[in-house]
Amino acid sequence: MSDRVAPSPLAVQAALLGAARAPKGARRDAMDLIAKVAGGRLVRDLVLLAPHTAIDRRLRVPIAETQDGDIATIEAEVDGHIAAYKNLPHRIRLRDETGFLSVAYFRGNEEMLKRMWPVGQTRLVSGKITFFDGMRQMLHPDHVVDPAKGEAPPPVEPVYPLTQGLPGRTLARAVLGALDTVPEAPEWLEATTVKAHDWPDFRTALEHLHRPTAPEDVAPEGPFRTRLAYDELFARQCALRLRRAHRRKDPGRAIVGDGRLTSKLLASLPFAPTSAQQRAVREIFADMAEPAPMLRLLQGDVGSGKTLVAGLAMAHAAEAGLQSAMMAPTDLLARQHGATLAPLLEAAGIPMVVLTGRDKAASRREILGRLAAGEVSVVVGTHALFQDEVAFADLGLIVIDEQHRFGVSDRMRMVAKGFAPHVLVMSATPIPRTLALSIHGDMDISILDEKPPGRQPIRTVAMPTSRMEEVIGAIGDAAKRGERAYWVCPLIEESEEVDLPAVLDRHAELRARFGHGVEIMHGQMPPATREAAMDRFRSGASFLMVATTVIEVGVNVPEATIMVIENAERFGLAQLHQLRGRVGRGDKQGSCVLLWKPPLGETAKARLDTLRRNDDGFVIAEADYRMRGAGDMLGTQQSGLPPFRLVAPEAHGELLGPADKEARLAIERDPDLASPRGHAIRLVLNLFGYADAAELARSG
């Protein structure tokens, strides 16, 4: 870093958040195209646009020393032109003291090429060497410059993502123009962090990313991109921590129940809640007793009893005379929750309704009237709950299931329907604990890591598709015992690119075998048709459900004991575990058959073996994390967070934990970001799109 004093954070911010200029000589619409690729028109949008690779042009040798396939930069004299003829290209012959090189242009403008390549003058040319009729040639060179003017191709050229109509050279010039306006920045990271990794400062890292001296400079795992990725993760975690701290200062109201309804609900259960459920309920009740609104994530494996915990929270709100709303992403899931909650709430004398987009007008009017009058304590519904005509007498608690399917704006629309209601969000997708704490840094977290008593582990086997007939026979035997089965196929119709069975074909095949007891369900069916099929399956009118992954979450049929997953090697571990959790939910042993199509690769084999040996979703999540790194888990964007610009999950997943720890300590030490380092942190928050969090710190 330079010894001179860095500009103030505000000056750096003004430079980074100023409008980028179109490169000289660019088309009038160039900035529109550049903004489309970079995600905006600000200087920061261009300098944070990561190249996906770089071309090495450092091989600068005489013509005779080049090999077939080389990317070479050659200085040579223009010896002559051979005009295009019929299907042949226009050729320019170059010479140096070692030999000749033919430069070829198909459909080139002859006059323009003669001006560009004047005979007798020297040119620097860079591109790929190939051989044609035993002679070296270069088709459509990447760079042609006049060394007499001091011009030269870049020794290493970054390659950026493009869009139709935007030349790579235009984008590169715009990026470098923006980079040249960026001053040095004050350091927002701990000096010990920078020293421990031997990282450059922020400005140097940007310089090497866009003016690399070696292709490794732009690699995700290289020190320059890694430094910038850590900055981005650090900014995100600071934003989450600031939002969380600010939320705890928001005015709200404490909800303190007297236990009369929750005790009735608990007394109606045929079993005692697990210690994990009891712990989660204590944490939720403690949050609700605080005047600041709760924002807590309830994370639990398939079948860990999240719905009971949510039911107890809603009963606790009802004891204080407040209403609760539970949101689910689909009609099917909303009705499923309604069916599960109804007996629990009924036992406690708590009135409940289900509201979805499928309700008839008269029924809907009646439900809305009862909600507004306070006659209903609990409503379970879908996006229909957001609508303006849905009004509550006094909404005190919002429960959101499968929270990743709802955006922050959805949550805010529901929150606006009450006075600072408490919010409980639920997720059935276990992820490693350290990752959960980092990704959900703005929430408190309760984890259900036990299964309810009596729940038997699901017997899991992996078989090649050649044994499919055995599996079909076992389904027939189970049907005679009154049991039901799922058969999951990954695609709806045959694809020439992907060799996967079609759910339509499989359904036709199994229906020909078993008759009308076979249902079909997939995402392209109308919701009403899907729900009718599920109702027949649930009631026992049919015994086999052939489906895509639409049954992955929330479907609860206790009589279902067999889950067949065809082409299981094509699914991720988390999804396989979710699907397996659809069976064995009653008192009978559940079985899961993973049908795989030979040959089975090593990674797929390890994935299926992990699932066979484990039934704990958190153990499976840890194994998945080890196999893939943070990968998809980090890549799955949480609602309300800007998409990553510089973080490549597969390369930078391990940085998340340390970045979160550093962010937590920074915000704890300086919650108002008032120190010199605090001002630098404000800068990095603004830089990566978290201006709202920087303002929260400003407001104290």
Mean pLDDT in consecutive groups of 10 residues from the start of the chain, 700 residues: 67 92 85 92 96 95 96 97 93 97 94 96 97 94 94 94 91 96 96 97 97 96 97 93 83 91 95 94 96 90 88 97 94 87 95 88 92 96 89 96 71 88 87 68 84 80 95 94 92 48 86 93 83 89 90 74 93 86 84 94 90 86 69 48 78 86 94 95 94 76
3-class secondary structure, 406: coil
Q: How big is the CA angle at 345 (ends 342 and 351), to the nearest 5 degrees?
A: 85
Give the separation between CA 415 and CA 400, rounded to whole angstroms: 11
What are the structure tokens assigned to 316, written together? 């606790």
3-class secondary structure, 246: helix
When computed from its CA atoms, the radius of gyration of the chain, rounded to whole angstroms, is 31
Which pairs with CB-CB distance under 8 Å and at least 24 residues apart come from 620-628? 620/430, 620/573, 620/574, 620/577, 621/430, 621/431, 621/432, 621/573, 621/574, 622/432, 623/573, 624/572, 624/573, 624/574, 625/431, 625/432, 625/435, 627/573, 627/603
CA distances from 569 to 414, 462, 579 (A): 40, 10, 14
Residue from 323, 326, 340 nearest 385 by CA: 326
Give the separation between CA 648 and CA 293, rounded to whole angstroms: 34
Given the candidates 3.40.50.1010, 3.60.10.10, 1.10.443.10, 3.40.50.300, the CATH classification of the domain at 260-448 is 3.40.50.300
Q: Is 649 within 8 Å of 634 (Cβ atoms)? A: yes
What pLDDT score was predicted for residue 638? 46
3-class secondary structure, 324: strand
What pLDDT score was predicted for residue 498? 44
What pLDDT score was predicted for residue 492? 54
**Peptide bond preceding 147 in cis form (omega within 30 of 0):** no
Q: 669-687 as b/e, with b when 16 or more CB fall inside 10 Å?
A: ebbebeeebbbbbbbbbbb
Element (H, E) at 534: helix 527-539
Give the separation between CA 88 and CA 583, rounded to whole angstroms: 67
Give the separation between CA 687 and CA 17, rounded to whole angstroms: 7
CA distances from 109 to 83, 121, 176, 221, 364 (A): 10, 19, 30, 43, 70
Give the separation between CA 393 and CA 409, rounded to whole angstroms: 22
Give the separation between CA 684 and CA 654, rounded to whole angstroms: 21
Q: How big is the CA angle at 505 (ends 500 and 507), to the nearest 5 degrees?
A: 115
The contacts of residue 420 (CB under 8 Å, 6+ apart) are 250, 251, 252, 253, 293
CA distances from 29 to 167, 572, 650, 698 (A): 12, 42, 35, 38
Phi, psi of 206 (to 5 degrees): -60, -45
What pLDDT score was predicted for residue 568? 92
CA distances from 71 to 127, 143, 213 (A): 5, 11, 16
Give the separation between CA 266 and CA 278, rounded to whole angstroms: 11
3-class secondary structure, 101: strand
What pLDDT score was predicted for residue 535? 87
Give the separation between CA 6 and CA 1, rounded to whole angstroms: 10
Residue 161 is given by DSSP the state: -
Q: How big is the CA angle at 535 (ends 529 and 536), to the nearest 5 degrees?
A: 95
Identify any residues that bridge with 93 across adjacent strands, giving them in sequence order: 80, 102
- State the fold for domain 68-153: OB fold (Dihydrolipoamide Acetyltransferase, E2P) (2.40.50)
Residue from 220, 289, 219 nearest 258 by CA: 289
What pLDDT score was predicted for residue 523? 76
What pLDDT score was predicted for residue 398? 96
Give the separation between CA 550 and CA 547, rounded to whole angstroms: 7
Q: 25-49 as b/e, with b when 16 or more CB fall inside 10 Å?
A: ebeeebbebbbebbbbbbbbbbbbb
Q: Which class does domain 459-614 fall in?
A: alpha beta
What residues does CATH 2.40.50.140 cover in the chain?
68-153
Residue from 322, 314, 296 nearest 424 by CA: 296
| pTM listed for this prediction | 0.72
Report helix angle 602-613 to 573-580, nearest 10.
Answer: 40
What are the structure tokens assigned to 453, written together? 């008593």
Q: Is 401 within 8 Å of 382 (Cβ atoms)? A: no
Residue 130 is given by DSSP the state: E
What residues does CATH 3.40.50.300 cover in the chain?
260-448, 459-614
What pLDDT score was predicted for residue 637? 44
